[in-house]
Amino acid sequence: MKKLIGLNIVFAFILFSCHIKTEKENKDQLYKIETEYGDMVFKLYDATPLHKVNFTQLIEQGYFDDLLFHRVINGFMIQGGDPDSRNAEPSKILGEGGPGYTIPAEFVDTIFHKKGVLAAAREGDQTNPEMRSAGSQFYIVQGKVLTDEDIKKVEDRINASKLNKLVTKFIDEAKNEAYNTGGNIDYQIILPEARKKAKEEFKQGGYYKIPDFKRKIYQTIGGTPHLDNAYTVFGEIIDGLDVIDKIAAAETDKNDRPLKDIKMHIKKI
């Protein structure tokens, strides 16, 4: 009986160890983007589960194989994932293709646009106010190392955008009220009132400042902070950051497409 109990304990320990190992392997699963410039190893974030599941499924389908990095802007980012880029003619304008669906935004304050992160491309705010992500198109941040002055400019830009959105919100509310009551829309009255309300609400929310933990990264590693909380970041390169720089330095045409095709292959390691 003692021997049997001992075997059961050992068996239970093995199962427990395997369970922990499996969970760790799932959590730390790595993937590789292969290019002629070198390989980039990346992981996907658990904090953005919708994007993680989607990207994983696309990789398993071989969706990205032979697609191009079709949009490259040195000092900013490299973008790919458009299925129309596979075997595309040199003159073809790319960036509109996808699997036919979008993904809800998953903004996480502790995940931001430092150099090397993977983020989802998307349509602009006017046609996509919910900021839903494209189904397959993604970009990898290169960015740049920022100074205090650079960060102040980014903060000013973000706050100006917030204020403008508030003004638009109050203008729309005034227009809807006038429409519902049968009144006239007088922009000479509506606009100043909307600006006044926007400034009051903006003051209550406070001037946005980039948190210290982000500021430190942006001033050492670099990135693109003006995209934070506007595009979903869902993974990061953990090996091969130099490959980003090599691809970003490629010569491009007026549409930011590299003159020489840069193909990718993405696979599970």
pLDDT over 80 (residue 17): no
At residue 136, φ and ψ (nearest 5 deg) are -135, -25
Q: What is the pLDDT at residue 27?
A: 59
> Any idea which fold 28-144+221-268 has?
Cyclophilin (2.40.100)
Q: Which of 123-127, 145-149, 233-237 has the lowest mean pLDDT?
A: 123-127
Report pLDDT for 10.
Answer: 39
What confidence score (pLDDT) does residue 68 get?
98
The per-residue pLDDT of the chain, averaged, comes to 90
Contacts by residues 167-175 (CB-CB < 8 Å, ≥ 24 positions apart): 167/194, 167/195, 167/198, 168/194, 169/198, 170/194, 170/197, 170/198
Rounded to an integer, what is the distance from CA 228 to the centroid of its chain? Answer: 8
Of the chain, the percentage scoring pLDDT greater than 70 comes to 90
pTM: 0.83
Q: Which of 247, 265, 261, 264 lies closest to 92, judged by CA? A: 261
pLDDT digits (tens, 9 = 90+) for 235-257: 999 999 999 999 999 999 999 99
The per-residue pLDDT for 262 is: 98
Res. 86: pLDDT tops 80: yes
- Lowest-confidence range among 131-145, 156-170, 184-198, 216-230? 184-198
Given a cut of 80, whether residue 135 has pLDDT beyond it is: yes
Specify which residues 102 forms β-bridges with. Answer: 134
